[in-house]
Amino acid sequence: MFIGLLFVTLYTIIKVNQPLKIMPNWCNNRVTIYSDTPNQIEKIEKIFSDKKNIFGKIIEEPDWRRLPNEKGEFSKLEQHKNPKTGEVMFETYNFPDGKNDDRWYHWNISNWGTKWDASNVDIAYADENQIEITFDTAWSPPEPICNRLREMFDDIHVSWFYDEPGMEFAGYL
């Protein structure tokens, strides 16, 4: 079993040229937003339609590369290359002592309620008064994101259902 997992891990890193993400329990989010105010739904659709840095458009993440750590040091880009081909497999930001800059991880959990941005985003339906969006998050629903959307758009009604089948919990925000 361990040898098989090791092979899959190495294959993923070397052949696919992608860093391995350890899969969390995924939480499914189904969000329906209603509004009678012109352009509210259009603005929300614009946030989710890019499918990249969605939560960062709602609660902006700091630019970690421009912020020093507690020692006053800045992280620097390090490229990790395939030793045979020289091709860049993935990049990390590390401090001079070699420690990886993982400040984003704790910040995301504290401010977004999950470690990563929305994944597998799909706008299932949208018109001028309603939008239905589905996406996955790591571990739990992004409750701070839901709350911030309600603050950003004062004339919306949100139905946010989440379920995390791995831990068998579900509910509404």
pLDDT on residue 18: 47
| Torsion angle of C-alpha atoms 119, 138, 20, 7, degrees rounded to 10 | -110
pLDDT score recorded for residue 50: 86
End-to-end CA distance of the chain: 40
pLDDT value at position 145? 98
pLDDT of residue 143: 97
The residue written with tokens 């239905």 in the block is: 132
The whole-angstrom separation of Cα 136 and Cα 13 is 24
**H or E stretch covering 171:** strand 169-172
Q: Which residue has the tokens 């421009």?
A: 66
**Low-confidence residues of the chain: pLDDT under 50:** 1-20
Residue 21 has what pLDDT? 54
Domain boundaries, the chain: 26-172
- Angstrom distances, CA of residue 75 to CA of 63, 111, 173: 11, 22, 37
Q: What global pTM score does this model have?
A: 0.78
Distance CA 145, CA 123 (A): 17
Which pLDDT score, from 0 to 100, does residue 171 have?
92
